[in-house]
Amino acid sequence: MMEKIVSLCKRRGFIFPGSEIYGGFAGTYDWGHLGVALKRNITDAWSKAMQDHRNMTFLDSSIFTSGKVWEASGHVSGFSDPLVVCNVCKEKSRADHLLESVGAVADEKLSDADINKIFDENRDKLKCPKCGSKDFGRVRATNLLATSNLGMFEDKDEQVYLRGETAQGIYINYKNVLDTGFVSIPFGIAQIGKAFRNEISPRQFLFRKREFEQMEMQYFCHPNEAMDAYEAWKNERMEYYRKLGINPDKLRFKPHENLVFYAKAACDIEYEFPFGWNELEGVHYRGDYDLSQHQKFSGVDMQYYDEDTKEKYIPHIVETSVGVDRTVLMVLADAYTEDTLGDSQRIVLKLPPKLAPMVCAVSPLLKNKPELVSKAQEVFEPLKKEFGRVVWDDNGNIGKRYRRQDEIGTPWCIVVDFDTLENNTVTVRDRDTGGQERVQISDLSQYIKERI
């Protein structure tokens, strides 16, 4: 199924392989017209859900930051994956993923010595995914931060990193946001932006990329209230996916088995992707670790002073973190359907109308009849102005147009025919059922609004 989704995305202009004319560039993809629209609908839905909280603020922090940020956060010393190289074909793999594939449990946070021990115990079962050889080197931790030479620094101490997560930009601006006087504890800072990771083996299309986008929210609260906030955010985020129209049977919580030392509680919201259950979003109760680290490294006091109780403390943080790309993949996988309509086979993306790149397509029944074309234009223009996501489609016969719109998930196809010239009604064809009804042109806007 993954190959079919990848192929549809390229064929219909959602997503193209990065640097394709130069043979591709692993872990990168470029977004086409429909991909941009789908992605925007997803980020809009997330922003709207965050905005619904009265104590939520938004931020857009830099991709380039002082290297000190990543030393304080622990990414320079500890943000790594266990790499193992095949001695025959030199393919690089993640040792924890190879071990998982043979049923051995290996946490990505294990020490080099421990993961090598588990790897050695399982060597006879492990095979290189590329050439099938069993001849591997030693496992070693490989840092995931992507570096850059911005400013031509020669000194290693001035190393710059592309951000590995958007969260750090939020932590280092927490005091700035607080000092604006618009918020008090508890409050959230939400941010959407690019993140970069030197993933050892980018894979599964949009699932694991080297350049991707995150939607992260950090909720700053009193230590005594943080656990309740964690539970509330966990449930709210699950409910959010259900309301978005994602199949609830394919969503579940998975508590983290091995918490990092500073975390008080953490879980993933998992989705059943075509390649199995996997992390979609992380919800983490991170204690005061992040602000304490930045206080230690920057020397800036990160404490919050509560005017009412006269209490001073470092707020605890609950984080919700999800990838835009991974959400797009989930939404596509959830919507991808092959079915039979009438007597023909079709591919259809049963996207929730709110997320569909185009809400409707407008067509004249015949493109060589000027009276139909000009009437269809009269229908198209105001809808385009109102909804934006409206496409003009007069290419090929009507059956072909329906198939094309089905493949990109357009919920309604509006066709102007000879009856329209008589009575100002059009046919509206429903993507999922193929059923058609006649609707007055003047009612079209309301018809669509009610159904989005």
By beta-carbon proximity to ligand GAP, the closer residue of 205 and 380 is 205
Task: Give the containing element (helix H, strand E) for 43.
Answer: helix 33-51
State how far the Cα of 160 lies from the Cα of 153, in Å rounded to an integer: 8
Strand locations in 163-275 (E): 187-196, 211-221, 251-255, 265-273
Range 267-296, binding ligand GAP (CB under 6 A): 279-282
Shortest Å, Cβ 164 to ligand GAP: 7
Shortest Å, Cβ 226 to ligand GAP: 17
Shortest Å, Cβ 3 to ligand GAP: 19
Give Cα 207 to chain centroid, integer Å.
Answer: 8
Range 304-323, binding ligand GAP (CB under 6 A): 319, 321-323
Residue 205: burial class (beta carbons within 10 Å; 0-12, 13-18, 19+): buried
List the alpha helices (DSSP H) in 158-223: 167-171, 174-179
Q: Which residues does 433 contact at the CB level (< 8 Å), separation at least 6?
A: none
By beta-carbon proximity to ligand GAP, the closer residue of 218 and 405 is 218
Q: Which residues does 172 contact at the CB level (< 8 Å), separation at least 6?
A: 61, 65, 69, 294, 298
Q: To which residue do tokens 């294990």 refer?
A: 110
Cβ atoms < 10 Å from Cβ of 10 = 15
Token readout for 328 is 């797009």
Shortest Å, Cβ 193 to ligand GAP: 12
Three-class secondary structure of residue 446 per DSSP: helix
Shortest Å, Cβ 9 to ligand GAP: 15
Q: Which of 228, 281, 205, 201 is nearest to 4 (CA)?
A: 205
The region of 5-13, 206-214, 369-377, 419-427 touching ligand GAP under the rule CB under 6 A is: 206-214
| Interaction of residue 193 with ligand GAP, rule CB under 6 A | no
Shortest Å, Cβ 73 to ligand GAP: 10
Residue from the set 136, 171, 212, 271 that interacts with ligand GAP by CB under 6 A:
212
Residue from the set 316, 326, 389, 431 that interacts with ligand GAP by CB under 6 A:
326
Q: Which of 170, 162, 214 is nearest to 193 (CA)?
A: 214
Residue from the set 81, 96, 216, 288 that interacts with ligand GAP by CB under 6 A:
216
By beta-carbon proximity to ligand GAP, the closer residue of 158 and 239 is 239
By beta-carbon proximity to ligand GAP, the closer residue of 321 and 405 is 321
Compose the 151-170 pattern: x for residues touching ligand GAP by CB under 6 A, - for all others: --------------x-x---
The region of 154-162, 211-219, 293-301, 411-419 touching ligand GAP under the rule CB under 6 A is: 211-219
Residues that bind ligand GAP (CB under 6 A): 165, 167, 197, 199, 208-209, 212, 214, 216, 279-282, 319, 321-323, 325-326
